[in-house]
Structure formats: C-alpha cells, structure tokens
Amino acid sequence: MTEIKVTPLGAGQDVGRSCILVTVGGKNIMLDCGMHMGFNDERRFPDFTYITREGTLTEHLDCVIITHFHLDHCGALPYMSEMVGFDGPIYMTHPTKAICPILLEDYRKITVERRGETNFFTSEMIKSCMKKVIAVNLHQTVHVDLDLEIKAYYAGHVLGAAMFYIKSGQQSLVYTGDYNMTPDRHLGAAWIDKCRPDLLITESTYATTIRDSKRCRERDFLKKVHSCVEKGGKVLIPVFALGRAQELCILLETYWDRMNLKAPIYFSLGLTEKANHYYKLFITWTSQKIKKTFVQRNMFEFKHIKPFDRAFIDNPGAMVVFATPGMLHAGLSLQIFRKWASNENNMLIMPGYCVAGTVGHKVLSGVKRLEFEKQVLEVKLQVRYMSFSAHADAKGIMQLVSQCEPRNVMLVHGEAAKMDFLKQKIQQEFGIDCFKPANGETAVIRTIHNVPLDISVNLLKREASLSGLSVPDPKRLRILNGALVIKANKSQLVDPAQAMRELGLKQHQLRFTSTISLDDDGPISDSADKLYQKIKNKLKDYPIHYSSDGSITIADTVLVKVSGDEETKDIAVSWLHQDEELGSYLLKILESGLEGT
C-alpha cells in the first residue's frame, strides 16, 4: 500500500489563492500558484515557508503546474520563483503562457505604481519567471523526468485553461483547476477521458448550485440592462479581461443589433484589442461555432462596443461599461463604482463569483455603506448578481467524477459548508472517499495497486511438465519459481536459465538432501519397489522413473534412493532448489512409512 499526500497552501475550504502541494509516486508538485484578491498584506500570497523550513523550493519541488491565467491561480508565480526562489520547470498551456505575463504586469502596475506598495515583484521578475515556463499542448504526454509524466486536457472556463493528469510510478491524479462542463458562445465544454486516477482534485466553487437554463439567464440579463439604459441609467459590469467579458460582449452585441439600440457600450481601454489578438492567435481553443465562422466573420470584432476612456465616467446619459477587474477589488471597475454608486438609477451587475473581503463580495452581501480613505460611500445603485461564471455547478462536478472514474475525490476552491453537501453526495452516489482539507492540513490518500506480471512460455511449459499436464490448471494455486526481470517499466517472470543467458551469467544450482531411516526387513530391491509403488500412487500427476539401481527420479530432478543392509535402511531424498515444494511433499509421504497407500 502506498500514499498520496495533499496539502493546500491556498484554496483549502476557501476560494482564491489556489496553491496545492501534492506528493505522488515520490514526486513533489505544486498545482497552481495564485494570490488572494481579498488581502493586501502577507496573506495575499501562499505561505511558502511551509516548504522552505528546510532547504529551498527548488530542492523540494520537482515541478510547478499552472492551469490558467486568472490571478487567483497564477498571481503569486513571480513572487514564488524570483523572490522566494525556484529554478525548476513550470508547465502551462500555450495560451496561458502568452496571456499570464500581461495580467501579472497589469496587477503589478495597480499594486506598485498606484498604491505605492513595496516588497512586490518587478517587471523584470515577471520576464525571468516566464523564461522558466515550458508550454504544453492538449493531450501531449510530457515527461518531466524518467518517472513523472503529465498530460493536459481541455477545461473550458477561459482561453487556454487545462486540467492536468499526473502520473508517477503506479500512482496517478487529476487536478482540474477551474473548469466548465457546459459549452458557451466562445468556448467548448471541459473534457477528460476515463483515466481512472487514484485521486481527482476538483474545484467546488458552485458545490451546492444547480444553474437554471443558460437561455433564461441570458434573457434576464438582457432585460435588466435594457430596462436600465431605457430609463437613462448607467450599467457597470465588472469583468476580468478575458473570459466572461467576451461571452457577454457577444451577447450584448447581438442584442443591440437586433433591437437597434443606441446607448453606447464600452470596454476597458486596450484590453479589447489584446483579447481579440489572443482569440485570433489561439482560435483552435474556442468553440466549434467560432472556429467554423471565423473566416467569414470574427465574432470578437464588435460594431457596438467601443474602448472606454476614464473621461467618460462623468458623461451624462445612459451607457453600459465592462470594466476590470471582476471583483471590484481595485482598478477601473472600482473607480467607476465609487462614482456611480450613489445614484439609484444606475445598476451594478456582478456576473461571477466574488471572494470574501473584496468590495464586490460586500456589495452582494447587502452592505449599503462602504468606507474608502476615511470617506463613507452610500450604495444606492441597484445591485444584481447573475451567474455567468464559467465554473462547473454541482451537476457538472458530478458529471466529471462520473467521466474520469477516480478512486478518491478531493474538493478544493470552495466554501467549507458547501463542500460538506457535495462530499456527502459524491460518497453516496459513487461509493468512494471524498476529502476536503483546510489550508495547511495534509490529507493522506492510501492507494493499492496490482502490479501486472508477464510469465514466460518456457516457465509455463516447465510448470506443465512438473504437474504432468499439457496446460497448467488455472484453478490450482501453485508456487512458480523464476527470475523477476524488470525492463522499460515492464515486469516479467522468466525461467532462471533464460535470465542468466540474457545477463551473461553462469547458472548455479542448489541441491537439498534429507535422509529418513527406514525400519523394513528384506532385500533393498524389495524396499525400493515398495517405495516406488507408494510414491506412484500418491503422485499420479508426475512423471516418475524407477531405475535398476534402486533410485527413483521425478520430473528429472528429485531423486529418491534406498541404501543400507537387510535390517536397517536409509532413504535419501535429494531435490533442486526450484522443486522445494515437491521435495517437502515427498518427505511427508515417506515419513508415513512404506505400509499402506
């Protein structure tokens, strides 16, 4: 029995700052390296001292895997690699490698240049960190070393997001990162084959939610936006630069066209162009519809959606603005919110999950008074939460468990109470263990593996000749004596002589001899004849030969010989090491005496 050990440094019974340490098949791997949006102190990054109490990160980690470019999954990467110190390989997909440094640089600017924070990573550190990244393709088996291999699977969620299958020795696990089991306008659904890992580590953000029809949500969203702009109000939609932003932009663009609406729609300056560039570059990662129609029409080139300038914040009249970041914790979205929050004609639509501690989370919880720099802001605008989040809901999580058939499940990236509900559901429906460790807590998953073993034909033939059968009886358990040869991860039991030949070694045979005193009157030939008859009756399945000198040979190896005089006789039983079972059985027969059968 072997063990897989898992310790969350982030996302353990919590959403945000994903960072999971796993020990699988003797290898140590870090899964994601994110930051927490709800903190601006040392709690923002994972506590890497958990690993570096003895030695460096490089000494303790074989590799780091990043599932996608959201900052709660990659935001601590330059801090970890350049400031704490890690020189090993970092794996992610090609789109993640392209987009990750842009979002890291955007966040660095907000933190250092606008807030004036120190002890933060620099632009040079981001570049140095990205030089350590090895990009992987979907379904490509990557050998980290001789024992450790990884493979990426499509996760939906955002452009380039991947789930990772990890195998070391006989042990394996799947880590999902964030994923979506439902296809949408611009991305496909997550998919993984029936890989039957020892452990599935899955996000559980929406562990208790079963979403209503996507069409109903879209209709409701369009109705609310239309109603607000019709009355001259302003709609703020906080989003992250890539992902839900493009999904909702496609939805509003189509609706504005159909309804012939004139109210302007804006998107954070610069991000639209960057987003479009990456969607064109990685078109193979998008949905089937976008791939099919891309040559005739690029869905990401919008007619109604224009870049936003900060000067537009005070413009009169209706407008819709998509602004980053998505949780109102910093940047332009927070700036616009502070300007528009006191007007009840305006509307805030939160399309995704907000981490505890962020302004978005506070507003969604019903807080009506917020303090900014010792000034109190009255929140009077309409607040609406509409789940366009690209996370799997409870149904989707159960679907993934069913799809990959793991032996154990672990829940991360979710709230403890919601995890309890899903844990019970998984255990009841699939009859497997489910774990939900907190940050800093180590879960130990015990695994049992049957090692496949090939048996050479020569060995089977020898076994058949010993038992006197043309084919060994599969219902009869027997001890097979052979040499275990392991080559290229394949184990085979072969005839020792064959193994010796292949290794160029000279074979030595061990022979064991035991003597039994026999009380039997008469000539030695008579005693030998009685002995032969008894053995023949007892060992009917074995080829037995009787020689004129009084010796009995069984299967050319075991030798029984009677010696002595007319009154006292000795029976010598001699056998080779591979026939130990037969030799001991023969001794039992002889110890019972010559009389009877």
Written in H, E and C, the secondary structure of 351-413 is CCCCCCCCHHHHHHCCCCEEEECCEEEECCCEEEECCCCCCCEHHHHHHHHHHHCCCEEEEEC
Query: Domain coordinates of the chain in residue numbers?
Result: 3-210+390-446, 214-385, 454-503, 511-593
445 CB-contact burial (10 Å; exposed 0-12 / middle 13-18 / buried 19+): buried
User: How far lies 183's CA from each of 71, 276, 447, in Å?
Assistant: 23, 20, 34
Distance CA 552, CA 542 (A): 12
DSSP 429: H
Query: Is it true that 3-210+390-446 and 214-385 share their CATH fold?
Result: no
Distance CA 562, CA 228 (A): 110
Distance CA 127, CA 114 (A): 21
Residue 480 has pLDDT above 70, yes or no: yes
| Phi, then psi, of 524 in degrees rounded to 5 | -60, -35
Q: Do residues 360 and 336 lie in contact, with contact meaning Cβ atoms separated by under 8 Å? A: no
Q: Do residues 319 and 264 lie in contact, with contact meaning Cβ atoms separated by under 8 Å? A: yes
What is the percent of the chain with per-residue pLDDT over 90, rounded to a whole number?
A: 52
Q: Do residues 20 and 11 lie in contact, with contact meaning Cβ atoms separated by under 8 Å? A: yes
Q: Do residues 350 and 358 lie in contact, with contact meaning Cβ atoms separated by under 8 Å? A: no
Distance CA 33, CA 48 (A): 10
Residue 444 β-bridge partners:
5
- Mind listing the pLDDT tens digit for each residue in 192-216? 999 999 999 999 999 888 877 778 8
E strands, 269-352, in order: 305-308, 319-323, 347-350
- Mind listing the pLDDT tens digit for each residue in 214-234? 788 899 999 999 999 999 999
DSSP 3-state assignment of 201? strand
Known catalytic residue: 405? Answer: no
Which residues lie below 8 Å from residue 165, measured CB to CB, with a gap of 6+? Answer: 150, 151, 152, 153, 172, 173, 174, 192, 195, 197
- Mind listing the pLDDT tens digit for each residue in 536-561? 888 877 888 888 777 888 866 778 88
Kindly report the length of the chain: 597
User: How far lies 57's CA from each of 122, 131, 533, in Å?
Assistant: 20, 17, 74
- Mind listing the pLDDT tens digit for each residue in 324-343? 888 898 888 999 999 999 99
Among candidate residues 54, 105, 203, 247, the one labeled active-site is: 203
Which class would CATH give 214-385? alpha beta
| CATH T-level fold of 3-210+390-446 | Metallo-beta-lactamase; Chain A (3.60.15)
Which has the higher per-residue pLDDT, 458 or 45? Answer: 45
Which residues lie below 8 Å from residue 233, measured CB to CB, with a gap of 6+? Answer: 318, 343, 345, 346, 347
The mean pLDDT value for 101-112 works out to: 88
DSSP 283: G
Q: Do residues 391 and 178 lie in contact, with contact meaning Cβ atoms separated by under 8 Å? A: yes
Q: Do residues 377 and 370 lie in contact, with contact meaning Cβ atoms separated by under 8 Å? A: yes
Judging by DSSP bridges, how do beta strands 568-576 and 408-412 pair with one another? unpaired
User: How far lies 121's CA from each of 83, 84, 117, 279, in Å?
Assistant: 7, 11, 10, 28
Residue 270 has pLDDT above 80, yes or no: no
- Mind listing the pLDDT tens digit for each residue in 358-405? 899 999 999 999 988 888 899 999 999 987 878 899 999 999 999 999
Residue 107, pLDDT score: 86
| CATH T-level fold of 511-593 | Alpha-D-Glucose-1,6-Bisphosphate; Chain A, domain 4 (3.30.530)
Distance CA 7, CA 47 (A): 12
User: Across all residues in the chain, what is the average pLDDT?
Assistant: 88
